[in-house]
Amino acid sequence: MKPTKSYRDPQFINSKEARALRILAEYLEPKARLEREGVEDTIVFFGSARVREGSPWYEAARTLSSRLTSWSMALDPAHQRRFVVCTGGGPGIMEAANRGAAEARGRNVGLTISLPREESVNPHVTRGLSFHFHYFFMRKFWLAYMAKAMVVFPGGYGTLDELFEVLTLVQTRRMTKPMPIVLFGTGYWKEVINFDALVRHGMIEARDVDLVHRTDSVDDAYEWIVRRLAEDALGRPGATME
């Protein structure tokens, strides 16, 4: 009987000694598949998994995603895989954004994560562009690395974690690419995050407040994102981050 090769040995692959290989796999496999599918960069939607279909925030995310997808698909043929809508792949706001992109007949990406209360990928993610992660930091890497713009709808701990990680990267200039960030739902965000208090206490600079664009309007969010992408990203295809 031939001995089992180490990379085919489930006991080894799932051991703590092989953790580095599992982490590397969550970098290399998505990279290979995204390149094969021709996805150059993304517009990422963050927001709560608890928002239900028919609610104002759900429908706003669905409409905005659809409009941005239609815009990206109307670019010249050389840019057909630019600014693809990407989400965490779950329900709520994520489902709304994937759904809007699918309704516009566009491709879209879903990056799900293993959780104790397992939630399957929503049915609107494009076949072949659904990814499932074990490591949160690898999932967040792919959310940020491919992104050329981000839209953040109301959410809880996960949404706040994703928002503040990106804000930290932009503030510290570790993310050197332009990163338009929309906070959708001004009343919610004003109550949940007191940016003015952070400035008043000297914890951030006044200019750091302007790292985000706040709005309650799908029209305003769409126009602002499209303008920023046209000015800063059309000539810079592909994923870029230091």
Token pair for 119: 């939630």
| 217 found inside a domain | yes
Which pLDDT does position 239 carry in this prediction? 62
What is the total count of domains within the chain?
1
Provide the CATH number for the domain around residue 190. 3.40.50.450
Mean pLDDT of 150-169: 97
Token pair for 169: 């990267």
| 38 found inside a domain | yes
Which stretch of 24-33, 68-77, 110-119, 189-198 has the lowest confidence by average pLDDT?
110-119
| 30 found inside a domain | yes
Which pLDDT does position 240 carry in this prediction? 60
Mean pLDDT of 173-182: 95
**Domain containing 177: what range?**
11-232
| 238 found inside a domain | no
Mean pLDDT of 212-240: 90
Q: What is the mean pLDDT of the chain?
A: 94
Q: pLDDT for 180-208, tens place per residue?
A: 999 999 999 999 999 999 999 999 999 99
| 138 found inside a domain | yes
> Per-residue pLDDT for 48 more than 90?
yes
Helices (H), ranges, the chain: 10-13, 19-37, 56-73, 93-103, 136-145, 157-171, 186-192, 195-200, 218-232
Q: pTM for the full model?
A: 0.93
Mean pLDDT of 157-170: 97
